[in-house]
Chain A
Amino acid sequence: MIENRPLLKLTAHLVLIAGVALVAFPVYLAIIASTHGPTDFMSGVIPLLPGPHAVENYRQVLASGVSTSGIPPISLMMTNSLIMALTIAIGKIVISLLSAFAIVYFRFPFRALAFWAIFVTLMLPVEVRIVPTFQVVANLGMLNSYAGLSIPLIASATATFLFRQFFLTVPDELMEAARVDGAGPMKFFFDILLPLSRTNIAALFVILFIYGWNQYLWPLLITTSSDYYTVVMGIKRMADVADSYPQWNTVMATVVLAMLPPVLVVICMQRLFVKGLVETEK
């Protein structure tokens, strides 16, 4: 602030505190709810202070799930989410690195066409073409499989663009020096380009991990066997039942568990996360 205005400063702090409260309150309530017993929700109003059942609730959902709603142990669902998120994030990064490399470091017939074919995927979010995509995956026999959960989501125009932009900023001379030094394309890619892209890869990984973990509609559609349920979609199945037979404590315990990994990733890797977010949109 340019001039010293205590009142203005105070207002700013109040605005920020209100903002933080707004952002945190739903999660606070979720955490509180996850520490109460099932009967505490019959009585009327949600409790606002922690209850004594935290350990028991979390142990139950993690280890045995919720049998009344056909929910497998959350630990299984979280493992599935992790596999899906990692496959999507790593898969997207790998195929985007390769295609950006091809587009920037080679000249070949149909280069522009390939570029546009990838670009078009920006315009086709999965929700928009959900029915035919589901049919394709079903026809390929990929329902109820990790491959079906992740591969259809792996093509990424955003990541390809990001790497393309980055590769274009790498000085031309680096590649020329490598060629004089006897490095072929793949050697250059692995020895030089990849190490230089480290921060970009890490930043993108954070964003894509969150993207993968938070997938909802896709796993909902292509998993009918509870062995492949992911935690984010599983919440919906639990909440459906919770309406008639309120088990808010277990639903909220699952909610907390479902957001824990991605939130931790954002908080622990804040710098990379901000970089990844701001750069992917450029």
Chain B
Amino acid sequence: MSAIELKNLRKVYPGGAEAVSGIDLAIETGEMVVLVGPSGCGKSTLLRMIAGLETITDGTVSIAGRVVNDKEPAERDIAMVFQNYALYPHMTVRANMAYGLKNRGTPKAEIERRVAEASRILQIGDYLDRKPRQLSGGQRQRVAMGRAIVREPAAFLFDEPLSNLDAKLRVEMRGEIKLLQRRLATTSVYVTHDQLEAMTLADRLVVLNKGRIEQIGTPLEIYRHPQSTFVASFIGSPAMNLISATRDGDGLRLSDATLPLAGRSLPQGPLTIGMRAEDITLARRTGEPQGLPVRIAYVEELGASRLVHGHLGSERIVVSAPIDGELDDTMDARIDPALLHVFAADTGRRLQ
């Protein structure tokens, strides 16, 4: 039995906008599933339907084997962490954490025990008697997590909980959330539009596009085998190079150059070829061209490596290169044909 199960879930807003169109998803107990996708793809809507904050147009949401479509959020045994934290401004940190338990009639001693335990885990014991406005962004974030933890719910729901933090704190909290989730082993659904956050946090990643699931899989599966050009360009930084190509005899014709296929078999017709920046190597040209001629436009130094931006014919291309190599105006880009990602040019679906 899955912890959370969505069956053919749909949401049409009163205005007629279809935000979620037919989602099937089973989330296992204890796993952390991250919903990722561009802004407006329906992530929040989906999460809020699981929470019971949004009515369900069609389909079912089950939690712990029970259909909860008509249940109030409070009856679903979930806890939610909001982007703006939604702490009650007039209550102390302690009261904020205790509020949900009090409403459920949890005995006082038990509330105290759980608040103490959560504040120890999250290291917020020193602020228990402060009001939210007396806390920094990171501390508020912890309190919001604490409010979810004390409830000991069947599932945590996170809606972009780190978006309001600065970059450094975001990385730090990301790690903490991961650790915490491991430790508590509570089923979690986490929404973000940041693919890096998604990759680092997820046990399983769900990539959404326009209200539909594009792909489900572990972060590595998705990184290595994106099932569509959408996923390929969305997951990974820098984004995968996508270049139109056609089969040409034994090779692959890309722009004005031909790439030998070295025995890899590809279908005929127009294709889109995907190349990860780090799968490409740049070589200085010595005599005859060997590989794809790339005209270098500019270089981004990242410290540990560098990103070389250039043009392949009329298309743009990014290559991740070691910092010590020398760069010419035009260089030869080489890639192992086995590392090519091949998509149908019309549908954008992966072909192999």
Contact = CB atoms under 8 A, between A and B. Distances in A.
Interface residues of A, number: 17
Interface string A90-131: 000000000000000000000000000000000000000000
A181 B99 contact: yes
Nearest to B148: A180
Interface string A163-191: 00000000101101111111100010001
Contact of B84 (A171, A178, A187, A192): A171
B50 to A, nearest CB: 11
Contact of A176 (B86, B89, B90): B86
A179 B103 contact: no
A181 B82 contact: no
B103 A181 contact: yes
A179 B88 contact: no
B225 to A, nearest CB: 37
B104 interface: yes
Interface in B125-152: 147
B104 A180 contact: no
B53 A196 contact: no
Contacts of A191: 88, 99
B36 interface: no
Nearest to B51: A180
Interface in B43-70: 51-53
A200 to B, nearest CB: 13
A177 B86 contact: yes
Given A182-B100, A182-B103, A176 B80 contact: yes
Nearest to B90: A195
Interface in B79-94: 79-80, 82-90
B78 interface: yes
Contacts of A187: 103
Interface in A179-233: 179-183, 187, 191-192, 195-196, 198
B53 A179 contact: yes
B78 A180 contact: yes
Interface in B303-325: none
A171 B103 contact: no
B82 A177 contact: yes
Interface residues of B, number: 23
Contact of A179 (B74, B85, B89, B104): B74
Contacts of B104: 182
B73 interface: yes
Contacts of B85: 173
A180 B89 contact: no
Given A176-B80, A177-B82, A179-B53, A196 B90 contact: yes
B18 interface: no
Contact of B74 (A174, A180, A192, A195): A180
Interface string A11-38: 0000000000000000000000000000
B73 A192 contact: no
Given A182-B104, A196-B89, A176 B82 contact: yes
B301 interface: no
B72 interface: yes
A173 B84 contact: yes
A157 B88 CA distance: 28
Contacts of B89: 196
B80 A174 contact: no
A183 B84 CA distance: 19
Interface in A33-51: none
A157 B33 CA distance: 49
Contacts of B82: 173, 176-177
A177 B104 CA distance: 14
A187 B100 CA distance: 12
Interface in B145-188: 147
A192 B102 CA distance: 14
A199 to B, nearest CB: 11
Given A179-B74, A180-B78, A180-B79, A174 B99 contact: no
A171 B85 CA distance: 10
Of the candidates A182, A187, A191, A192, the one having the most CB atoms from chain B within 10 angstroms of its own CB is A182
Nearest to B159: A173
A192 B96 CA distance: 11
A173 B86 contact: yes
Given A181-B99, A182-B74, A176 B88 contact: no
Contact of A174 (B73, B78, B79, B88): B88
Contacts of B74: 179-183
Nearest to A175: B86
A184 to B, nearest CB: 8
Of the candidates A178, A181, A183, A195, the one having the most CB atoms from chain B within 10 angstroms of its own CB is A181
B262 to A, nearest CB: 55
Nearest to B153: A180
Nearest to B104: A182
A155 B52 CA distance: 36
15 contacts: A171-B84, A173-B84, A176-B53, A176-B73, A176-B82, A177-B88, A179-B52, A179-B53, A180-B100, A181-B99, A181-B100, A181-B147, A182-B74, A195-B90, A198-B90
Given A174-B86, A177-B80, A181-B147, 6 more contacts: A176-B53, A177-B82, A180-B51, A180-B73, A180-B74, A181-B99
Interface of A: 171, 173-174, 176-183, 187, 191-192, 195-196, 198
Per CB-CB distance, the 4 closest pairs between chain A and chain B, nearest first, are A181-B100, A173-B86, A182-B74, A182-B103
